[in-house]
Structure 1
Amino acid sequence: MSFYSLRTLDGKASPLVGEMERNVFRTPLVQRYHYAAESMANIFSEQYRYSTWRKLWCWLAKGQQSLGLKITNEQIREMESNVQNIDFEKAAAEERKCRHDVLAHLNAFTAACPSANGVIHLGATSAFVTDNTDLIMIRDAFDILLPKLARCIDRLSSFAEKWKSQATLGLTHMQPAQLTTVGKRACMWIQDLLTDLIHIRRLRDGIKFRGIKGTTGTQASFLELFDGNHEKVNRLDKLVTEMAGFRSAYIICGQTYTRKLDVDCISALAGLGATVHKMCTDLRLLAHMKEMEEPFEKEYSSDSLVYKRNPTRSERCCSFARHLVSLVQNAYNTHSVQWFERTMDDSANRRICIPEAFLAADVLLSTLCSLTEGLVVYPRVIDRHIRQELPFMAQENIVMAAVRHGQDRRRCNEEFKRLKNEAAGVVKVILKLIKTRAQHIDQETSQSLCKKVFYPPSIPFKRKLLACYSLPSLTTKLL
């Protein structure tokens, strides 16, 4: 059973129900971070999973009835009225006998719907309920993540617009390079998040339903039910697919839907994790430089250094992201070792891996949303850092000005390099260079060159970026 089950195999209440026991492990993604993952944990709960199995049995019966099989309206009404009425004690007792969860819940459902006993699960195999339910849960889980991701992008976009003209040191190799702006740097984070949003949205919309397929992915049992009528079988497949809310079903599959889809889904979540990790690492480094800070409320240090303002939310995001990225190898391994039409070594693995991935992504985005809501910028600190580095960064402009006045470019660069090395961190060499190698540049011009801010003219980065991706309406819709 997964960490998110509401009951154990012996039928006893799990520690996630009622009074929580303290001597049983509970995943922190649900227990500690429940404030963020409650809706997502509900999707991967036993109640959600097994009630979806029952919905699938109802949809199958309704489709079969509409195509001429002898199933009454009373039987369907009885089934529908018991979709949420799950006797977990009985299901657990049945599973102890047969060691098969689908058969156990089928028996529990037929016990609750005695008049429909002969029409439930007609012609279907276990994967009809297990795999189609997994696809429904994955789709619904994406529907929780997408608005949160759009909200993060929206908040960062407002931040980028506000700080689009605030110059700051651009760093390459973690060394000062040229000036950029705080807003433009935020747009780098936004661009990656937009890429993730597009990828996840496209993936979510492209998920196909497994549909009505048999033990090896054929429709032989359904052809038998409809006396070899291929048209009715195809119509049944389409009907059930539409009732489940999918646009289309797989034409080809084995007993299960291809585990390649699990690879794609977890890879997309891992990509989101990598994006957030990079962004939050930048924020942690900026916090160290005192240029930016997370929003701080009631946060306390455990030691005597009460003056510290630790970037705990960024650190938490990095922690979740690292776990999320690590799960992708699991999905690759599971897909690669499936034999022929299906082997069962994917089952226990996927019960853990898929919920873990979506829960981690959900908590990650919830934390990122709270982080991006109140980012603090310290312009004076940023300006001080710029002043410290500006003379060095003005080298190219000074050399070009010297060349225009008849100086040799190579010799100017060599002299500049020598003087920089001599300075050893004391930023007073530019004016000396002017006097020694560019005598035709007056003092006022040299001072102006040193003070000049060398970065592209400010533009509304947010609007340009969103227009580039044609996504303003998408982010608004998801919000």
Structure 2
Amino acid sequence: MRRCSVDWLAERYAPERMREVFSLERRIMLWRKLWLALARHQKRLGLCVITDEALAQMKAALNKIDTERIQELEERLRHDVMANIEAFGEVAPAAHAILHLGATSYFLVDNADLINIREALRLLAAYTTHLCRLLLNWAQRHKNSFCLSYTHLQPAQPTTHGRRACLWLQDFLSDIKRLGKLAEDLPFRGVKGAVGTQASYMILFDGNAKKAEELDKAVAADFGFSNVMALTSQIYTRKLDLEVAQAVCQLAVSAHKFAQDIRLLTGLGDLRHKTSRTQVGSSAMPHKRNPVDAERVCALCRYVFALEGYVRETASHNWLERSLDDSAARRLYIERLFLAAGSAVRYCCRIVDEFEPSERDISEFVPLLATEGLLMEASRRGGDRQKLHEALRRAAAVYQQSKNLNAFLEQVEKEGIMRKEEARRFLNVELLSGRAVEQCERFLREAEKVINAQEAVAPETAGV
């Protein structure tokens, strides 16, 4: 029997590629690539203690990762960076003496985290673009499918299923833009030394500030960063982590809103599950078909919301140039933010494929939906808007009690609003829906241009 705990988020929910971004092997590989870039540029800038043999061995040993050996060393040294230095030195012995020269642990940790954050932001944007493409296609299919809109969870006016999907799509498109811009603008911590002053590099380069500055920019460029932070302490400002968390949280807001709406609409009878012969809704009640994926999305998004608060607390409680509680917190929140958000988007994609409009008859609501149209027409003819509003409230009450269309029309006429023959014109759902179809079509044309300009990646399957 398995005795170790299960990481439910990673193993059950998260897409595979997002898990790979935060894998231990990738983290170790990035640290080694950072050490190699540092040493290569130090040699290029005149640091003669670094030999060609050392660089060659480092390059050849990048993939020689023995996680069990690293763990063994860390248990003895109680320091993960020192354990990795020793492990890398064992497979690249000519480089052992110059590994990590002038660097602090957070040369590795922060820069590697920024590389991963950038990759995760791009991947999350690509997942969301795929979701948007699915939503766009769904909206196009159902742009002429009329349904009820709801305010205060009460029937309001007619709309279409496609137009409602456009509202969800609009939110997700804003998230793609936000995530993409943040990924492209993300700065590199760079090569700053123990507390950000580059003191160690000034000594190594015999006081040559230009070489220290060039080293900073050259290492950043090796990893595709053109923007290097001008100032850091031992760490980069954790307000940047908060900015990242807030962008991810914005996506989670969109996903939660979408999934919650799906749950409500299935409960109201506006949407239905597509037929599935294998899905079981309840172990006790055989008839049930539950919106389980939408429920999962809401749960995952609430976790993202909680993590955003954790990031905020960590950023505000950082002591002076750095303290270790920052390190422990970030091991948790960076990975979990992206795994949870990626999981939520994965299930959102599945939801789009699982649900379709029901064949619900909304005709019984039409007299109530018509009251605003009647109010507008009677006011346009010169009636007192406030008196008409009160009169239509009375007519609506008659219909709510009787469920009789003729009784409603007779009350409209009795109130002096207009003759019932004229009032019948406003029982047309298409008329009452305003520009719903036109707005949907126009929005979808513009949305398609935006989506086609972005990279789209379908979130990979996970446990369920």
Same fold (TM over 0.5): yes
Provide the rounded CA distance (Å) in 2 between the counterparts of 1:404 and 1:239: 70
Match of 2:158 among 179, 183, 199: 179
Q: Determine if contact 1:55/1:83 at 8 Å carries over to the other structure.
A: yes
How do 1:9-408 and structure 2 match up within 5 A? 22-33=2-13, 36-70=14-48, 71-297=50-276, 298-378=278-358, 380-381=359-360, 384-385=361-362, 387-399=363-375, 401=377
1:302 aligned counterpart, secondary structure = coil
Aligned to 2:390: 414
Partner in structure 1 of residue 424 of structure 2: 447
SS of equivalent to 1:86: coil
1:430 pairs with 391, 395, 408, which one?
A: 408
* CA distance in 2: counterparts of 1:228 and 1:449, whole angstroms: 83
Deviation at 1:191, TM superposition (A): 0.9
Name the stretch that deviates more: 129-138 or 90-99.
Answer: 90-99
Structure number with the bigger relative contact order (C-alpha 8 A, sep ≥ 6) is 2
Q: Which moved more, 1:223-232 or 1:65-74?
A: 65-74
Q: How far does residue 43 in structure 1 lie from its aligned partner after superposition?
A: 2.0
Query: C-alpha distance in 1, partners of 2:441/2:180?
Result: 20
Unaligned regions of 5+ residues in structure 2, if any?
Answer: 459-464
With the length of structure 1 as denominator, give the TM-score of the two structures.
Answer: 0.88
Change (3 A) 1:409 1:32: closer
How many angstroms apart in 2 are the aligned matches of 1:333 and 1:118?
Answer: 39
Distance in 2, Cα, partners of 1:465 & 1:198: 17
Higher mean Cα deviation, 159-168 or 421-430? 421-430
5+ residue gaps, structure 1, are 1-20
**SS in structure 1 at match of 2:98:** coil
**Deviation at 1:449?**
2.3
The answer as to 2:453 corresponding to 1:474 is yes
Structure 1 residues 318-327 or 298-307, which shifts more?
298-307
**Once the 2 structures are TM-superposed, how far is the Cα of residue 407 of structure 1 from its aligned partner?**
6.6
In structure 1, the residue corresponding to 2:99 is in which secondary structure? coil
Letter of the aligned partner of 1:358 in structure 2? F
> 8 Å contact 1:75–1:116 — kept in the other structure?
yes
Rounded Cα–Cα distance in structure 2 between residues aligned with 1:408 and 1:244 = 69
The change in CA–CA distance for 1:229 and 1:469 in structure 2 (over 3 A counts) is farther
Measure how far apart 1:367 and its partner are: 1.2
Identify if the C-alpha distance between structure 1 residues 478 and 27 changes in structure 2 by more than 3 Å, giving closer, same or farther: closer
What's the offset of the Cα at 1:290? 2.1
The residue type paired with residue 416 of structure 1 is L
**For residues 202 and 393 of structure 1, what CA distance do their matches in structure 2 show?**
42
CA distance in 2, matches of 1:407, 1:256: 69
Secondary structure in 2 matching 1:32: helix
Deviation sequence 1:8-27 (CA, Å, 0-9, x none): xxxxxxxxxxxxx6222121
Distance 1:230 1:370 in 2: 55
Instruction: Kindly state the Cα deviation for residue 90 of structure 1 after the two structures are TM-superposed.
Output: 2.9
Equivalent residue pairs, number: 452
Is the 8 Å Cα contact of residues 402 and 438 (structure 1) preserved in structure 2?
Answer: no
CA contact (8 A) 1:295 1:371 kept: no
Quick one: which amino acid aligns to residue 318 of structure 2? Q
Q: Is the 8 A contact 2:282 2:288 kept in 1?
A: no
Shift of 1:237: 1.1
Most deviating of 189-198 and 446-455: 446-455
